[in-house]
Amino acid sequence: MNAKALILLALQIAIAGTVFTYGLRATYDDLLYIVKRPALLLRSLIAMLVIMPLMVVTCVYFLDLPQPTAVVLLALSVSPVPPLLPQKERKAGGSIAPYGLGLLVVLALVSIITMPLTIAAFNWLFDQPFAVGLTAIIGIVLKMIFAPLAAGIFFSRLMPRVGLRLLRPLRLVATTLLVIGVAALLAGSWRAVWSAIGQSTIVAILVFVLAGFVVGHLLGGPKQEHATVLALATASRHPAIALAVASANYPGEPFAPTLILYLLVCTLMAIPYVKWQRSRRAVYARTS
């Protein structure tokens, strides 16, 4: 196993470990939170699975995008939310919100149906057809979301006190692995990432991320916690699934640098938004 494979394995373990810690604290009411709120569910699906793909199609038509950039953005627009979404929401000033956890599970399920449908629409719009490896997508969803989440829930029911004691150290280990893995991946590919920065590429990525925050925030309201979760979810998509879709269509293309560039831009743009939402929570807490 080479160094790159070890780094990717460490990242997968980190993400799965993070989802396992969600399961240690999750309840069945958390998982059904969004299902019991159909209006919020509908707005979430429209923001993530309708508006964002349409926005990416517009960028592809009107911007002179390199093929890796266009394919990555199209793949991101149909991918579900990343497993780190509830952790991002907690940094914005709240706990692991039931909405964030429920959205994580529901979008993973829905994406199995919506991804082939949306890609069929892309085939109709563009000359070069797209395809999706459904088996690969289901495998990623099961391995990185459902399996660790179910394991965490089962463990917490079997040994609740042990689960609470393990929560903090497991989260620390998962976060450490994630930081080390991302740093190692960036160190090994920073030249390719730098070469992927072209005027149209960086503009398209900025438009995608900014539109995700704006659309998610507006459709997630009026509750602030809902707006925060949906804004982060709409801008942030699952990188592993997006990479699987892109690689399945064009195996020889270098998609990883463009995807890493997207992750960097999304992370940097999330910082001021999270700080803004945290300050709003603090002001509301003082005045209430």
pLDDT in tens, 39-49: 999 999 999 88
50 located within any domain: yes
The rounded distance, in Å, linking the Cα atoms of 258 and 262 is: 6
The full DSSP string for the chain is --HHHHHHHHHHHHHHHHHHHHHHH--HHHHTTTTT-HHHHHHHHHIIIIIHHHHHHHHHHHS---HHHHHHHHHHHHS---TTHHHHHHHTTS-S-HHHHHHHHHHHHHHHHHHHHHHHHHHHHSSS-----HHHHHHHHIIIIIHHHHHHHHHHHHSHHHHHHHHHHHHHHHHHHHHHHHHHHHHHHHHHHHHH--HHHHHHHHHHHHHHHHHHHHHH-SSHHHHHHHHHHHH---HHHHHHHHHHH-TTS--HHHHHHHHHHHHHHHHHHHHHHHHHHHHHHHH-
Q: What stretches in the chain show pLDDT beneath 50?
A: 93-96
pLDDT at residue number 64? 76
Number of domains in the chain: 1
77 located within any domain: yes
159 located within any domain: yes
145 located within any domain: yes
For residue 168, what is the domain's CATH number? 1.20.1530.20
pLDDT at residue number 283? 66
Range of the domain at 36: 3-283
130 located within any domain: yes
117 located within any domain: yes
261 located within any domain: yes
288 located within any domain: no
- Condensed to tens digits (0 to 9), the pLDDT of residues 33-92 reads 888 899 999 999 999 889 998 888 888 878 777 777 888 888 888 887 766 655 555 555
